[in-house]
Amino acid sequence: MSGETVLPAPARAGRGRFATTVVVLAVALLVTLVISLGAGQYPLSPLQVVEALWHALSGHAAPSPAAGVVTSVRLPRIVLGVLVGAALAVSGVAMQAIFGNPLADAGVVGVSSGAALGAAASLTFGLSVLGTWTTPALAFVGGLAAVLAVYAISRSGGRTEVVTLLLTGIAINAIGGAGLALLTFLGTSSTREQIVFWQLGSLNGALWSSIALVAPLVIAGVVATIVVARRLDLLALGERTARHLGVRVEALRLFVIVVVAVLVCAAVSFAGIIGFVGLVVPHLMRMLIGPGHLRLTVASALGGALLLAIADLIARTAVPLADLPIGMLTALVGGPFFLWLLVRTRRQAGGWG
Amino acid sequence: MTERMLRAAGVHVQIAGRATSLLADVDLAVRPGTFHALVGPNGAGKSTLLGVLAGDIGPSAGAVTLDGTPLDRLGSRALARRRAVLLQQNSVSFAFRAREVVAMGRAPWQGSAAASEDDDVIAEALAATDVTHLADRVVTSLSGGERARVGLARVLAQRADVLLLDEPTAALDLRHQEDVLRIARDRARAGDAVVVVLHDLNAALAYADTVTLLAAGRVVATGSAADVLTPERVSEVYGQPVDRLTDAAGMPVLVPRRR
C-alpha cells in the first residue's frame, strides 16, 4: 500500500464497516448459541440442536431426553446470558456518554453492587410486595440510587475525571459490599448462598419465568438508548455546547440515568454482578465502528450478547462437571483490559484528566 | 412589530452569597448585519455576558430578548436554529471525526426541510474554515488551533443568524486569526448578528462595526470601534498607557507604551 491512498466517500465506508460488523457479530452469536446448546453433560451435534429447537417451537414433545435438556435447561440459561450481555454493554455505552468518560462501567462505578444490594434485600427479608417483580424492582431502586450518587458526586462541567470516577466507584462499591455483607450475616443459609452467588455472577438456574421479567426490561432499555443516540453524540461536545445545539441536557441526563438503572437491574436481578462487560464491549466496538452512539448501541448490544454467550460456554465446559462463576471469567478478561485502558488513557491525557 | 435584534436590557448577574456582581446594569443591542465586539480586561465579564446572550446563564435581573421574545420562552430547538455559540473550550469526549463534529451542527435542523442541504452546508463550513483536509481525522488527534477551526465550522454549519463567538482567535496562528475574523465579518455582511469576545483590541478596531468595552461587570462605552477605543479610555480601563498609531494601510492601531 502506498502512503497516499484515495479514501472512498467516508460516510459510505463507515456504513459498510458497520454492516459488516453487525453481520459478523450476529453470525458469531448464532454459531456460539448452537455450539453452546449442544455442549455439556449430554452432548448434541449442531443438527440435533436445531432439531430439538424445531420440535420445541412446533410444540412437539422432545425427541430425546438430551433434547429436553436443551430446551428446558440450556436454552433459558443461554437466552438469559444474551440478554444480560446486551444490557450490560448498552448500559456501559449510556453511562460513558453521560459521564463523558470511556471508563464508566456498571461494575466499576458500583451500580451493579447497588442493584445487587437491592435484590439481596428483597431476598433476605423475604419481600414480595410486588410479586415476582419485587426483586427486579428493588434492584432497580438500588441501582438508581448508586448511579445518582456517582453522578452527583463525580462530575464537574459535564465531564468526569478518571480519578474522581474511580474513587467514587470504590466508595460506592464499598458501601454496596458492606450492605451485602450485612445481609449475608442476617440471612439464612439459603439466602447466604444466593448472595454469594450474586457477588460472583452466574447464569446458573435461569428459568423461563425470569426471562419473561428480564427481556422486556432489556428491550426497553436498548430501544430507549437508540432513541436518544443522536443526542448522546452531541453530549460529547460538552454540556453547554450540546445545549446550544438544542439538547435539553437535564432531561436527557435524567432519562439516561433511569435507562442505565433499568438495564443494570435487569442484568443483576437474576445473574448477579458480572463485571467489565460494559467497559470492554463498547470500547472494542468504538475501535471497530467509531463513537457514533446509534451504531455503537446496536453493535454493543450484539457484542455484549456474544461475549456473555462465549463466557457462559467456557464457564459450563472448561472444567468437567463444574459450573464456573461467569463473573469470575469476565473479570479475568476485563481486569487486565481495564488496566491497559487506564495506562493508555493516562498516557493520552498526559495525566489523570 | 418589534425590531429584529438580540437585546440585553438591565442585565444583572450575581452569584449567590457574593457581594459583587459579575454583570451589573448591562444594556446591549446587537442588530442583524453587525459585527459586535466585546472587549475589556480579564474578569470584566465578557464571557459571562456571552453566556447570558446565549441563554446559558439566566440573569438575576433584567432580560435578554431575541426579536422581542425572551430567550427562556423560545424552545431549546427553536433557539438552536436561531443562535450558534463557539466556546473557548472545544474538547470532544470521544474520537469523532472532524466531519462528524461539523455534522453535529446540523442537529437542530434534523427532521426539517433544511436537513436535505446537510451535505452541502457541511462541505461549505469545512471549506470556509480551511479544515476540509482534516475532515476524516479524529478530532482528539488535532492540535488546539485545528480543533478551534473545526468548532467554528460546526457553528457555521448550524446556519443560525445570531453567532456568539468566545475568543475564537485565541488558539490560532496569525493567518487563521485573520481568516476567522474575516469569516465573522462576512457572516455579518450577509445579515447575521455576530457577537465576538476579543482580547486583541486591534482586531476589534479592524473588524468590528460596534464595540462594547466592559470593565468590572459594567459597560464602560458602546459605539463604533474608533469612538470607543480611544487611547485615553483604553489606558484608563486597562491600567496600561497606550498610544494610537496609524499603520501602513492607514488603519488605527493601539500600541502599549513600553519603556
ipTM for the assembly: 0.93
Query: What integer pLDDT is reported at residue B240 of this predicted model?
Result: 94
* Radius of gyration (C-alpha) of chain A in whole angstroms: 21
* Residue in the block written with cell 452569597: B17
H or E segment to which residue A263 belongs: helix A249-271
If residue A97 lies in a helix (H) or strand (E), which one and from where to where?
helix A75-99
**Angle, CA B194 vertex, CA B136 and CA B2 arms, to 5°:** 130
The residue behind cell 431575541 is B66
The Cα B208–Cα B194 span in angstroms is 9
How many CA atoms are closer than 13 Å to the CA of A343, on its beta-carbon side?
A: 6
User: Could you say which of B79, B87, B92 has the minimum Cβ distance to residue A240?
Assistant: B87
Find the angle CA(B243)-CA(B248)-CA(B252) to the nearest 5 degrees: 35
Torsion angle, CA of A157/A161/A164/A165, rounded to 10 degrees? 100
What are phi and psi for residue B245, nearest 5 degrees?
-115, 175
Residue B26's DSSP bridge partners are B11
Q: Please give the Cα distance from B195 to B31 (Å, whole number).
A: 10
With CB atoms and an 8 Å threshold, state whether A100 touches B93: yes
Contact residues on chain B for A237, CB-CB shorter than 8 A = 90, 92-93, 101, 104, 154
Chain segment A230-265, per-residue pLDDT in tens: 999 999 999 899 999 999 988 998 899 999 999 999
Provide the whole-model pTM.
Answer: 0.89
Element (H, E) at A266: helix A249-271
pLDDT recorded at residue A164: 83
- CATH number assigned to the domain with residue range B6-256, chosen from the 4 options 3.40.50.300, 1.10.3720.10, 3.10.129.10, 3.40.50.12160: 3.40.50.300
- The torsion angles phi and psi of B166, rounded to 5 degrees, stand at -95, 105
Amino acid identity, position B136: D
Kind of pairing between the strands at B23-30 and B6-13: antiparallel
| Secondary structure of chain B as H, E, C letters | CCCCCEEEEEEEECCCCCCCCCEEEEEEEECCCCEEEEECCCCCCHHHHHHHHHCCCCCCEEEEEECCEEHHHCCHHHHHHHEEEECCCCCCCCCCEHHHHHHHCCHHHCCCHHHHHHHHHHHHHHHHCCCHHHCCCEHHHCCHHHHHHHHHHHHHHCCCCEEEEECCCCCCCHHHHHHHHHHHHHHHHCCCEEEEECCCHHHHHHHCCEEEEEECCEEEEEECHHHHCCHHHHHHHHCCCEEEEECCCCCEEEEECCC
- Interface mutation vs chain A, best among B93, B119, B120, B150, most A CBs within 10 Å: B93
The H helix count followed by the E strand count for chain A is 15, 2
Sign of CA pseudo-dihedral A195, A199, A204, A209: positive
Q: Do B76 and A243 count as a contact with CB atoms less than 8 A apart?
A: yes
Give the number of C-alpha atoms closer than 13 A to the C-alpha of residue A222, restricted to the C-beta side.
Answer: 26
Q: How far is CA A103 from CA A100, A156, A167, A267, B88, in A?
A: 9, 16, 12, 19, 26
- Distance (Å, rounded) from C-alpha A143 to C-alpha A244? 31
Q: Which residues of B fall within a CB distance of 8 Å from A100?
A: 93
- Tell me: pLDDT of A195 over 50: yes
- Give the total residue count for chain B: 259
DSSP A337: H
Half-sphere exposure for A162 (CA within 13 Å, toward CB): 18
Q: What does the pLDDT average to over A33-52?
A: 87
| pLDDT mean for each 10 residues of chain B (259 residues) | 86 84 94 96 94 94 94 93 94 92 96 93 95 94 91 97 95 92 96 96 96 96 95 95 92 90
Question: What is the DSSP pairing of strand B35-39 with strand B218-223?
Answer: unpaired
| Domain boundaries of chain B, sorted by first residue | 6-256
Q: pLDDT tens digits for A101-142?
A: 888 888 888 898 899 899 889 888 888 887 778 888 898 999
With CB atoms and an 8 Å threshold, state whether A245 touches B101: no
Confidence of residue A9 (pLDDT cuts 50, 70, 90): very low
Nearest Cβ partner for A236 among B87, B94, B136? B94
Helices assigned H by DSSP within A155-248: 162-186, 189-200, 208-227, 229-235, 239-244
Taking the Cβ of residue A238 and every Cβ of chain B, the question of whether any pair is shorter than 8 Å is answered with yes
B93: nearest CB among A236, A243, A290:
A236
Which domains does chain A show, CATH number per domain? 29-349 (1.10.3470.10)
**pLDDT over threshold 50, residue A6:** no
Q: How many of the other CB atoms lie within 10 Å of CB of A33?
A: 22
Query: Is A272 or A158 the better-scoring residue by pLDDT?
Result: A272
pLDDT value for A1: 38
Pairwise CA distance, residues A218 & A140, whole Å: 13
Question: Would the CB atoms of A290 and B105 count as touching at under 8 Å?
Answer: no
Model pLDDT for residues A298-321, shown as the tens digit of each residue: 999 999 999 999 999 999 998 887
Distance from CA of B135 to the nearest CA of A (A): 9
> CA torsion A82→A88→A89→A90, rounded to 10°?
100
Residue at grid coordinates 470511556: A102
Asked if residue A353 has pLDDT above 50, the reply is: no
Q: Report d(CA B107, CA A232) in Å as an integer.
A: 12
Q: Please check whether residue B22 is in contact with residue B14, taking contact to mean a CB–CB distance below 8 angstroms.
A: yes
- The C-alpha cell that represents B48 in the structure block: 459571562
